[in-house]
Chains A and B, each alone.
Chain A
């Protein structure tokens, strides 16, 4: 806890371990990200990539290890199985932190009972504390940015998968996050809809957003990432620039890449 502030890093994961029952999903994983950096995590299914991403904002609480964000250690909520009020201060702190980290999910998770505009407004009114009118204005600006302004009053059921995912991106961006997490954001999309979402992500990277991206889109990783991380069996096997991954040193990395390319 008395660790010095990690110099210049936006996010630092130190020695993260996570186990689900008998399965060691993450085994001593450390990873740091500098502001503005785009890091793509690749690896076979079940390698722990998504779990690692979910550990960043404690959607999956880590068993061991530290998560540092903007120079502060994030304390996991200490839930007690008996006292329903245990862990309140950590939850409050965690809530504040999560507002600064945007997350985009594989299955979009847009709110089906709200219109597109209301999806974006919810965080603005509840988290940022804006009034309805201002929130609506900002939400509409976000929708316009991603080309969904004409769908502002539609419910998600009336949107395509690609539109839902772009809406999810807009919803996250509206809160002005300093880090964006993408958890296989295009895996659930029909092939013809992948391009639009990737384009949105590329635009975001060009605008200087710090991004941690779990993806199967190797081409996207090669073009957009500053750094590529290859994970297997809950550990980081190899990391480096996209150029490095054109001729990776590790045997497992080579096997994985030749299998998917």
Chain B
């Protein structure tokens, strides 16, 4: 008969570490997401530009960032950058960069879809009243595109949170880093990884609830019909 006493006391002993590990993950996710959304907007604008000189590189960037596995990219940014350049990144910064850059490929596509989903008549109306192309984008097209981008943007946030759980491979002291150390020392992987996983799921659920709130908030002005 299988008999094994689960060592939940190990979890209890490491609650402080687990929580601070989770906080690090959340910081990396939040910063990575911000980077992805900002970069993504810039690239999406280039992606929808008239000139192939802008469109081409933007397309290449998007495909590259979406194609590269995060796991590999983490190593490349952390170890690779230090090898070929004088820049030595901390694991935290490397994690934010890797997450933000790969995320920006997806963010670009989210923005592109959203920008294209805005009724072309909106831009025409803005032009017809004498707004410059820049004003038409900023005041008319972008605010409507952002509303459309909210639901897929929240999906990306959750995806990045899950992606962030890879960062312990470059030595970021997150929940899984601690879990690995504790489970290896006491041979108790089940307890630590289960609790770590539950913590992530709890955060994901909170994010989903938050997403609903954000969507409600943004839906106040009707976003599709004019």
Interfacial residues, chain A to chain B (CB-CB below 8 A): 57, 59, 79-84, 91-92, 95-103, 105, 107-115, 122-123, 126-127, 155-157, 164, 168, 171-172, 175
**Which residues of B have CB within 8 Å of A81?**
50-52
Contact partners of B51 in chain A: CB under 8 A: 80-84
Q: List 9 A-B contacts (CB under 8 A).
A: A91-B132, A97-B130, A101-B128, A105-B128, A111-B140, A112-B221, A112-B226, A123-B131, A156-B222
CA distance A109 to B125 in the complex (A): 6
Residues of chain A lying within 8 A (CB to CB) of residue B222: 112, 155-157
Interface of A is mostly: loop
The reply to whether A113 and B221 contact each other, CB–CB distance below 8 Å, is yes
Q: Say whether B130 contacts A107, CB under 8 Å.
A: no
B residues with CB within 8 A of A = 49-54, 119, 121-122, 124-133, 135, 139-140, 143-144, 147, 220-226
> Which single member of A59, A84, A112, A113 contacts B127 (CB below 8 Å)?
A59
**CB–CB A98/B128 < 8 A:** yes
In the complex the two chains form, what is the Cα distance from A164 to B226 in whole Å? 8
Which residue on chain A has the smallest CB distance to residue B224? Answer: A112
Query: Would you call A112 and B128 a contact (CB within 8 A)?
Result: no
Assembled-state Cα–Cα distance A115/B143 (Å)? 13
* A98-B127 in contact (CB<8A): yes
Most chain A beta carbons < 10 A, residue from B54, B119, B126, B129: B129
Q: A83-B51, A84-B51, A113-B144 are in contact. Are A95 and B132 (CB under 8 A)?
A: yes
Question: Which B residues are in CB contact (< 8 Å) with A57?
Answer: 127-128
Taking a contact as CB atoms closer than 8 A, the residue among A79, A80, A172 that contacts B129 in the complex is: A172
Which chain A residues border B122 with CB–CB below 8 Å?
A: 109, 111
Q: What is the distance, in angstroms, from A248's C-beta to the closest C-beta of chain B?
A: 32
| Chain A residue nearest in CB terms to B122 | A109
Residues of the B chain whose Cβ atoms lie less than 8 Å from the Cβ of A101: 128
